[in-house]
Amino acid sequence: MSQLGEGVACEECWCVPRAGSGEPDAATVADTRLYGRAWARAWDRLHPRLTHRSAWTTAAKVLPVIEGTVIRLEVEHLPSGATPKPVWLWWSGVDATSADVDRLWQAFQRRFDIKHTFRLFKQTLGWTCPKIRTPQAADLWTWVILAAYTQLRLARAMATDLRRPWEKDSTKAAT
């Protein structure tokens, strides 16, 4: 049984088409603001061990071989103070360079920004409130929400010093 990194067996999830020492094909180290030093190592031309489940239930007896690159990301520390665990990523591309590995793990990190933006749209801006039945209506509703949100953000400066008659003026220094 060959190993990928420490403690993750290839036979469980990944097939290795070549005999090797387990050394990565590409590696990169970067200093980050939130995570300290980040190490990314990549092994090329691995393929997931497919089974006849989910999307492959109706497939032929011989399942396809889908080669890709497996990336192991380790960081020095987490912003929360928790103990960091390695993260394993799979990329459908092959022959990854160190620049590719660096770009891929940083793109994985940025997915949180996108995920939380959509969460804001769904929860705060009421994306899920209307009962939309067609894709065209969903597109229209999305543009209405984005236009309204943009208008509110642009008008924010106009309402900075609107106060009730009994509230103190925020621009004057307290005496």
Give yes or no: residues 86 and 149 share one domain.
Answer: no
Extract the runs of DSSP E, i.e. beta strands, from the chain: 3-4, 8-9, 14-15, 26-32, 36-48, 68-75, 87-91
The two structure tokens encoding residue 32: 């980050």
pLDDT(20) > 60: no
Residue 109 contacts by C-beta under 8 Å, 6 or more apart in sequence? Answer: none
48 vs 45 pLDDT, higher one = 45
Mean pLDDT of the 21-39 span: 89
Domain membership of residue 66 (yes or no) is yes
Give yes or no: residues 95 and 33 share one domain.
Answer: yes
Domain membership of residue 166 (yes or no) is no
pTM: 0.59
Q: How many domains does the chain have?
A: 2
11 vs 89 pLDDT, higher one = 89
| % the chain with pLDDT above 70 | 78
Domain membership of residue 61 (yes or no) is yes
The domain of 13 spans 3-112
Give yes or no: residues 143 and 78 share one domain.
Answer: no
Extract the runs of DSSP E, i.e. beta strands, from 49-135: 68-75, 87-91
Domain membership of residue 139 (yes or no) is yes
Give yes or no: residues 91 and 129 share one domain.
Answer: no
Give yes or no: residues 55 and 11 share one domain.
Answer: yes
Domain membership of residue 25 (yes or no) is yes
Give yes or no: residues 88 and 13 share one domain.
Answer: yes
Give yes or no: residues 22 and 83 share one domain.
Answer: yes
138 vs 24 pLDDT, higher one = 24
Domain membership of residue 88 (yes or no) is yes
How much is the mean pLDDT over the chain?
A: 78
Mean pLDDT of the 109-116 span: 82
Domain membership of residue 54 (yes or no) is yes
Of 36-45, 133-142, 158-167, the poorest mean pLDDT is in 158-167
Pairing of strands 36-48, 14-15: antiparallel
Domain membership of residue 58 (yes or no) is yes
